[in-house]
Amino acid sequence: MTPPDKSVALVTLGCTRNEVDSEELAGRLLAEGWRLVDDAADADVAVVNTCGFVEQAKKDSIDALLEASDLKQGGRTRAVVAVGCLAERYGSELASELPEADAVLGFDSYRDMSTHLRTILAGGHVPSHTPGDRRRLLPLSPAARRDEVGHVAMPGFGDEPTGPVPPTGPRVIRARLDGRPWAPLKIASGCDRRCTFCAIPMFRGAFVSRRPDEVLAEARWLAERGVKEVFLVSENSTSYGKDLGDLGLLEKLLPELAAVEGIERVRVSYLQPAEIRPGLLAAMADTPGVAPYYDISFQHASEPVLRAMRRFGSRPAFLDLVQRVRERSPEAGIRCNVIVGFPGETEADVDELEAFLSESRLDVVGVFGYSDEDGTEAAGLPGKLAEPIIAERLDRVSRLVEELNAQRAEERVGDVVDVLVEEVPDAFGDGDLVGRTGFQGPDVDGVTILRIDASTPALKVGDIVTATVVESEGVDLVAVPR
């Protein structure tokens, strides 16, 4: 066991999946006697959970590692350790280029993280991770993976707990690192799709579903700690259950999650349009407690570009899907990300994308300019566009999206909504509350500002308030409690 005076801070970058991984690491370290602190400046060891998705995310991760390393100059911090996707993806290469990090550890190190940190603090050396294609660690057939999963590290799954598994069900290995009333909950890891622009499957591995009993156990654990909304995360939620022999497993799981005592809202993320089944749409729309929120990975709308991305779909097919969602759930919020400047993209392709965005009237759209990613097929495709052309298209589509999303928010004025309160003003001051409706996802999809006055009953973080939308500010809404 680690002496109780030894402290560790986890610095998390990137997506909500990384947040789950950090909280699993925190749970493991807490069980081994480490003291968790919020600020890296107050910790003996700073563990930086990096992101390796796109160039900007990589830069942000390296900046965070350098910033943490600066704390070793005369402060309490004695070691900085890189973990997460950037560490998994580049391993020893990152270690050689970033000597400021005392170790660069991959996913396979998570189970023994306490031992590694103790070794580093004692002046020992922990070998840097040697990267490889994690897709090769499991059988090609999803049905054959279950027997091998126990031998492959799955961050966020809480596998191989320390000590006996309690007879009441799966043991949860996690520690909350914030007081938010919502929490991400990982239902799967990895991806079997082969999109030409994406490197994620190489360092996250083949698709593996968590068993429903493990997901439900963690949802109950979160509810016991005040979580009101669980945000189901994965690389591809629409594939959930395929390796367990049941492609309809997600629609069966949703009612069980919504029935967990204390959970008021279940939100599903990252749906692949080619895999969205009528049964899943029905379950999401008809199950009380499931948020009317559809995070759909369109990526583009021009068929030639989509095929070059090795993706299915078209503007008519995507518009039909949007229509089917709104027929079942008129209040639904639909969001997506799109890429502009993909190799070979023409002005006609951009026109097709803009036509789709104008006709679909999505709630939130993230627009990204294409950039080559190491090891991806797209990096070797012909027809690369010049950076100024990509920048111009990025600016053009971003400005269109900003206008369209603001118009969509304005259409919500007059609607009655249920708002999960996430921020309250200081007890000794005045101010508005901040929260989210069911159709607003966390962090990137806008918020709802609750205008309160002296007559408003006292509200706290985690309350759900019925309110009327009175105005919009960009993608954000302003509402008044009823």
Which two three-digit tokens encode residue 346? Answer: 């023409």
Q: Within its chain, how far is the Cα of 130 from the centroid?
A: 25
CA–CA separation, 402 vs 390, rounded Å? 18
- Any binding-site annotation on 336? no
- Any binding-site annotation on 51? yes
DSSP structure string for 103-129:
EE--GGGGGGHHHHHHHHHTT---PPP
DSSP structure string for 363-417:
SEEEEEE----TT-GGGG-S-PPPHHHHHHHHHHHHHHHHHHHHHHHHTTTT-EE
Q: Are 174 and 227 in contact (CB under 8 A)?
A: no
Residue 229: beta bridge partners? 182, 265
**Pick from 273, 267, 319: nearest CA to 293:** 267
- Any binding-site annotation on 198? yes
**Pick from 113, 123, 115, 119: nearest CA to 87:** 113
Torsion of CA 115, 119, 121, 124, to 10 degrees: -170
CA–CA separation, 274 vs 307, rounded Å? 13
Binding residues for [4Fe-4S] cluster: 15, 51, 85, 191, 195, 198
Binding residues: 15, 51, 85, 191, 195, 198
